[in-house]
Amino acid sequence: MTDLLISGGTLITMDALRRVIPDGAVAVENGRIAAVGPRAEVEAAHPNPAQRIDATGRAIMPGLIDSHGHAGHGLVKTMGSGDSQTWFKAVGHIYTQASPPAFWQAEAALTALERLMFGITTGVSVLGGGDCVMRVDDVAHGTAHAEGVAQVGIRDVMAVGYSRPPYPNNYDGRPVTAERQLEVMRELFATLHNRGRQSLCTMMPVFRGDEANRALITAQGQEMLALSAGYGALFHQDGHRAGSIAAAHEEFGLLWPGAFLSHCTDLTDADIAALVETGAHVVHNPSAIAAVRGFCPVARLLEAGVNVILGSDGTAPDRSTDMFRHMFMARRYAQRAAMDEKLLPPGRVLEMVTVDAARALGMPDLGALAPGMAADIITVDLSAPHMVPANMPVWRLVCFASGSDVRDVVVAGEVLLRERVPRADAAAILETADAQTSAMLAGSGLGHLAVEEPGWGLIRRA
């Protein structure tokens, strides 16, 4: 029996033929797509579904994939008033000294809810941030993150890895060795990887010239690759720039087709050659501060055959997880740099948050609507004033839509958002997030960083 039928909308399949079907339908059985095609055909073959969604006036499309974000950031995204250095220092303190498991669970539920409401069905969440400040001193924090995401029900890839040397690192006044961090990571993989909709990947800090610890860093990188291999998991790095990719490949042996690398700005010819040689993937974060300080050469990477996908970089300090916003930003970012408005047409950036992202994350049954694929599906309103006239649906989605236009979200055949009402208890998630933020500000002594300084009348902050 058909569990769910979504019909009547403009079907943007993202399948191998990139079919766009004006009056289409998708049938779902046992969490997977049973049929995709013109509405009349699919409805005739799948009568009397257990549940039906009328998508008239909407796009029906695959769920979006946010390929790089940070756990923790949802509760620190209003701090610092644009002073990124102060914000980075604050994050380093909070993530090691003022973030108990309840913080990580509340933040995970909040960010998962935000992602859900924006049509993201799969997201990557680095368990920490700042300069690779990872919360891997105890399994309780990663476990709490997984529990928070599970409250909402989307898919999550939690990235765990070492914090930077020297060791021991200080967490809540306790010294934590590198050996302890590895022990925690192994336990998190053993208990959480591929359990339900939660999976994990490993990561390493990008090498920043720390020659005194080169041997240790080299050994740690190989340990992360071995941990990934043991669980069939991916490998991630955050913050590559100007020669660091070539070093990761030539000096540390970290690149392979299961590696995906974030930011990747001001790349050298050797960096791009390493990506081409190894098949590693690039996550472009066009709205991130790193994209202001450096330039990610997306068009050149694509021309070289590198798979480039998109990430939000999380919600802090000044972003959101709205991938429609990041798709538009990616187009303008590349176009402005080249002064060429023909770069990155809408269909190309839509691929970056669907099929291309699914390939990079080793999830080939996501990212498209085709029989046998996992039923991760969203509907997007095409009838609002900013989405009219009713033509060129792909152009309208990428150039004019926002996350708030998402109406329905289905993950593995389960309806998690219906007419913008989430199945999860949104009020409770928001209340808990506010309570944990207040506790964090009080416990960290950083409440003054949450006092707003809008910059009225200023051209540039001091």
Length of the chain: 462
CATH code for the domain of 56: 2.30.40.10
| 407 assigned to some structural domain | yes
Residue 185 lies in a domain: yes
Amino acid code (one letter) for 155: R
Q: Could you say which of 360, 380, 395 is where a domain stops?
A: 360
**Which pLDDT does position 194 carry in this prediction?**
97
Q: What CATH number corresponds to the domain at position 165?
A: 3.20.20.140
Confirm whether 440 is domain-assigned: no
Residue 356 and residue 389 in one domain: no
Same domain assignment for residues 385 and 331: no
Residues 28 and 154 in one domain: no
Q: Is residue 439 domain-resident?
A: no
Q: Which residue matches tokens 């090498």?
A: 207
Q: Same domain, yes or no, for 247 and 387?
A: no
Provide the residue range defining the domain that includes 244: 64-360
Name the residue among 110, 189, 73 with its Cα closest to residue 142: 189
Is the previous residue joined to 62 through a cis bond, with omega within 30 degrees of 0?
no
Strands 169-171 and 421-422, by their bridges, are: unpaired
130 and 47 in a common domain:
no
Do 257 and 191 share a domain, yes or no?
A: yes
**Looking at the structure, do residues 286 and 354 belong to the same domain, yes or no?**
yes
Please identify, among 360, 376, 395, the residue that sits at the C-terminal boundary of a domain: 360
β-strand pairing of 377-381 with 281-284: unpaired
411 in a domain, yes or no?
yes
User: Domain boundary at 342, 360, 378, which?
Assistant: 360
The tens-digit pLDDT sequence of the chain (462 residues) is 799 999 999 999 999 999 999 999 999 999 999 999 999 999 999 999 999 999 999 999 999 999 999 999 999 988 877 778 888 899 999 999 999 999 999 999 999 999 999 999 999 999 998 888 999 999 999 999 999 999 999 999 999 999 999 999 999 999 999 999 999 999 999 999 999 999 999 999 999 999 999 999 999 999 999 999 999 999 999 999 999 999 999 999 999 999 999 999 999 999 999 999 999 999 999 999 899 999 999 999 999 999 999 999 988 888 899 999 999 999 999 999 999 999 999 999 999 999 999 999 999 999 999 999 999 999 999 999 999 999 999 999 999 999 999 999 999 999 999 999 999 999 999 999 999 999 999 999 999 998 988 889 999 887
Residue 254 sits in the same domain as residue 170: yes
Same domain? 317 vs 299: yes
Q: Is 415 strand, coil or helix?
A: strand
- Tell me how crowded residue 208 is: count the other CB atoms within 10 A of its CB: 13
**Both 343 and 377 in a single domain?**
no
Give the pLDDT of residue 131: 82
419 Cα distance to chain centroid? 23
CA distances, 441 to each of 68, 90, 93, 451 (Å): 26, 10, 11, 11
Same domain for 404 and 299?
no
The span from the CA of 140 to the CA of 105, in Å, is 10
Beta bridge partners of 174: 171
- Nearest alpha carbon to residue 67 among 265, 259, 298: 259
Q: Is residue 432 part of a domain?
A: no
DSSP 155-223: EEEEEEEPPPSSSSEEETTEEE-HHHHHHHHHHHHHHHTTBTTEEEEEE-PPP-S-GGGHHHHHHHHHH
On whether residue 263 sits in a domain, the answer given is yes
Number of structural domains, the chain?
2
Determine, yes or no, domain membership for 445.
no
Q: What does each C-alpha distance from 369 to 9, 62, 77, 146, 293 come to in angstroms? A: 14, 6, 34, 27, 37
Please check whether residue 75 is in contact with residue 437, taking contact to mean a CB–CB distance below 8 angstroms: yes
Question: Considering the entire predicted model, what is its pTM?
Answer: 0.97
122 and 108 share one domain = yes
Asked if 94 and 444 count as a contact pair (C-beta separation under 8 A), the reply is yes
